[in-house]
Amino acid sequence: MLTFAINILPYVSRDGNYVPALRCIQVYLPSDSNSSSWLRNYYHSIITLFINQFDLSQPLRIEEWLPPRADTILRFLILPVNRCTSRHLAIGMLLVTLMEPPFEKYVVCVITPFICQLIHKGELSLSEVIQSLCEGTISTVISMKQAPLFTHLLAMIVSVSPLESLPLNEKVLLLGYFANLVEHVSRPVTQQRRRSLNSDSDTDDENIETAISTNVGGAPLATIEYYVETATAVLTDCALRKWFVVSAISSEDGVRALSSLCYFLRQNAPEAFLSLLCSLLAHKEFLPRLWQYVVSLNIRAGFGATRSLISVLEQGEYISDSDENALIPPLSLFTALLSNILRTIDDDDLANGGHGSTILPFTLGQIASIATHFRLTLGLIDVAYPVNVSAFPTNVTESPDKRSKWADLFKNVASITKVLYERDSRLHFMSNGFWSSHNRQVVMNTSLWRTGKGRRRTRERPFQFNVASITKVLYERDSRLHFMSNGFWSSHNRQVVMNTSLWRTGKGRRRTRERPFQFVRLLLRENEDNANEEPPTAAELRNISILQSIPFVIPFMHRVQMFTELINQDRRQSGTDNYVHDAYHVVVHRSTLYEDAFWNLSPVKVPDMRRPIRVQMVNWVGLDEAGIDGGGIFREFLAELIQTALDPSRGFFATTHDHLLYPNPLAPFLYPSNFQDHFYFIGRIIAKLIYEGQLAEIRFADFFLAQWLGSSGDSLLDLEYVKSYDPLVYNNLKFLKCCPPEEVDALELDFSVLIDNLGATERVDLKKHGSEVKVTADNRAEYIVLYVNYFLSKRLSPMIASMRAGVRAVLDPDWLRMFSSNEISILIGGIDAEIDFDDLKKFTTIHNIKSDHDRLYADLFWAVINEFSPPNKKKLLKFITGCSRPPLIGFKALTPPMGIQLVHEPDKLPTAATCMNLLKLPVYVDTETLKRKLMLAINSAAGFELS
């Protein structure tokens, strides 16, 4: 009779009477009903009866209150749990039955709230649910497609359960269950990338509401988006987050599980991920444990041997999906944590890492070891574009999810590698030549980088953590601390030869063919709009990816030559290499040099700054200067214009404690109507300076260069930058970072700052509702990061954006992203070193030699100037060429080559034709006269009248 009553329930119509069958079940349900199949059939009948009797509201909504008849039917779901001797088995089979596809909407809208109410009333407990998971039945029955719904159900149960009473072993189990489930729960790749572009890096520590009556985020119910949002809301609850961290520290399984959870949050809820990072950073011992876990992951090789999984990746070899899922989450989490730490420490902390009160848990030697691993991530490019495709399984197919995983991992690695490189450039913890000694040949074809008017534009992306970004962070630190051996960063046994024709110029755009592991295309964001072009090879695409992501593995001078070739090719493509024709003519008064230039070189009058510009100067008394511009006058004008525009007294720029220039944050208040136009103009003229290969004696702050001309998505503004910006602020932040917790509380800080804008005081929140969030020992690292980001980045962002737009009007920003901030400084201002006149002599031609005496006189000239002081040598070079610094790649690159024309009229002063780099040198009777006349000429500062 009992079996009949259970089996008849699914067939009872809405007008039928099901009460007798339920009464029979209530009376005769035995306590020994421990058969899995019997229980599943029972639950299936009860749920089907409920569905047949009641319709869901339209549109769908969470039903907190049920009519008495509906509640009565659902109460029969708990009946076997209360009667069976194996309570855990009954709970487990209930959960399994709920996962059947026809029940999904009812489970979300009705049954899940009902179960949560049972837990709230004490009729069911989270501990019992966890124990039922241990039975193994659920994991063997639930499929990957059912994982999102089950994740949602488990998250809702956790949200209404008291976690304090849960034993530690059950917390570890819960962490593992969530980790296994979320591996199969994710938004479509397009939605993930859209969220990453629109997300705000600021985090919010507000308590997360766990009320089941609300629709988290407003996503439609019973959709993957809804499951993701409810899961992320619960997983970032402060109490649950705390216990997950404790569980992860206690075991290796906990490390693996927490890595998977963090990876899920990183992909689907960046704000929640950052909050979890802050909790992990409070546990100094976790990061070394995580790194040890990453390097301990092994893959089985032949003859029973094993290999480190990360070493397999470094070699660019194929790894299986299971190994990929084991490696990517912990490696991604490690790069994010290390990036955060490196942002809150200075070079002294890095040099003293692993000792004292520093939050960095690694010694300098360990950082060097980490840098070695990350530099070898060139192998990721090999995985993306295997030259030897036969080395990869023939049945490998690549989904969008897989490509997105590899793209994100490569960006992570490349970003941190860049930071390590920049640190190394200051600290020199790696060996000389390390970054480029990789024995990899990268040939770059510049035609792949489009030049001319059709240069591709890239959209700006908010900051993202990357493995590549961690390697960049370590490189940056090593550049200051030098904890890696010399040459370490380039000693990677890979030959990198870049063929510049791969960077498409003119009208053509680069195309690609379909290949395995083509995540690099996600990084390059190419458009296949010209079907007639020959697609680049795998080797060419991997090389351009290296140059865009980790360019420092190529020697600096090689990149300078490549950059020069790109500009020369752009000149030919755009037709701007002819100085005589199509030149703009401008008249500029010396007394109002900046104002005249701002007007005459505006985009309306000079739409293409790449074209030649011929300048007529008007002197201080209103007369045209005698010089005829063949190029030299413009070079002098451009140098003077930049010096005038960047003069702090004009208000566009301010200086740091070390006299380095950066945009004045008060400029919008000094020039409220058109400050953006001025910064756009300054960006254009500096880009013109770079385009012409001219050097200027200016020095910008590194934190400004990293954002302006560097890769905006990868720039990590660490505490070291504050040392130059403001030593007092730097010392205060250092104290806050290291002081005892009670002193942090005594400071009574919150996440807001007071700003003085020319007498008007303004309170600015560093994050949402920041003035209401107190700074504590647990969140002070986040405060330091936000503080540095606001003053060195966010406050300057309007000016930086305008200058970046000005540069983009002349140069493709991607070309400049081949260089670090320090290298860009060299690109603009040259190397402030003593001029090598012996090198200049090799590439100088002497004209108008009439006798042996003239030859001896030429030798005398070189002997005299070699005795000049360094400042006078610079003045002489500027007198001849219009610039006081030599070309980056030596005087062989001086165009046109320097010449000296002997003038047999000893009563004249030396003059120069800067447009031809020509010194007109009279033949004087003795050495003293030669020296005196030269000094008089180079110190006269008489403008172009002498030319």
Catalytic residue IDs: 915
- CA 661 from chain centre, in angstroms, equals 24
Angle at 478 (CA atoms; ends 472, 480), nearest 5 degrees: 115
H helix runs in 809-938, sequence order? 813-816, 821-829, 837-842, 852-866, 870-881, 927-938
Determine the distance from the C-alpha atom of residue 122 to the mean position of all C-alpha atoms in its chain, rounded to a whole number.
48
Q: Are 786 and 202 in contact (CB under 8 A)?
A: yes
Tokens of 531: 């079907």
Beta bridge partners of 312: none
DSSP result, 738-794? HS-HHHHHHHT-BSEEEEEETTEEEEEESSTTGGGSB--TTTHHHHHHHHHHHHHTG
Q: Single out the residue of 429, 422, 552 nearest to residue 476, CA to CA.
A: 422
Q: Give CA separation, 400 vs 188, 332, 468, 519, 520, in Å.
A: 9, 18, 20, 9, 12
For 921, the 3-state DSSP assignment is: strand
The token pair at 789 is 């980001």
Judge contact between 372 and 437, C-beta under 8 A: no
How far, CA to CA in Å, does 492 sit from each of 375, 410, 499? 7, 17, 20
Nearest to 255 by CA among 285, 231, 299: 285
SS (HEC) of 24-90: HHHHHCCCCCCCHHHHHHHHHHHHHHHHHHCCCCCCCCCCCCCCHHHHHHHHCCCHHHHHCCCHHHH
Residue 264 buriedness (CB in 10 A; 0-12 / 13-18 / 19+): buried
Whether the Cβ atoms of residue 837 and residue 862 lie closer than 8 Å to each other: yes
CA distance 813 to 708: 9
By residue count, the chain amounts to 947
- Among candidate residues 469, 611, 628, 639, the one with its CA nearest the CA of residue 550: 469
| Positive or negative: CA dihedral 269, 270, 275, 281 | positive
User: Of 430, 552, 433, 428, which is closest to residue 821 (Cα–Cα)?
Assistant: 552
- The CA–CA distances, whole Å, from 575 to 452, 505, 610, 933 equal 9, 13, 9, 42
Rounded-to-integer distance, Cα 496 and Cα 240, Å: 48
Residues in Cβ contact with 449 at an 8 Å cutoff, skipping those fewer than 6 apart: 500, 502, 503, 504, 505, 544, 566, 812, 814, 815
Going by the DSSP 8-state scheme, the letter that residue 719 receives in this structure is T
Tokens (6 digits) for 591: 């007394």
- Give yes or no for a contact between 678 and 670, defined as CB atoms under 8 angstroms apart: no
What DSSP assignment string belongs to 594-661? HHHHHHHTSTTT-S-TTS-EEEEEE-TTSPBPS---SSHHHHHHHHHHHHHHT-GGGSSEEE-TTS-E
Cis peptide before 68 (omega within 30 of 0): no
Q: For tokens 């009902």, name the residue.
A: 114
Burial class (CB in 10 A: 0-12, 13-18, 19+), 388: exposed
CB 663 within 8 A of CB 704: yes
The tokens describing 81, both together, are 């749990």
- Between the CA atoms of 739, 745, 748 and 750, what dihedral angle is there, to the nearest 10 degrees? 90
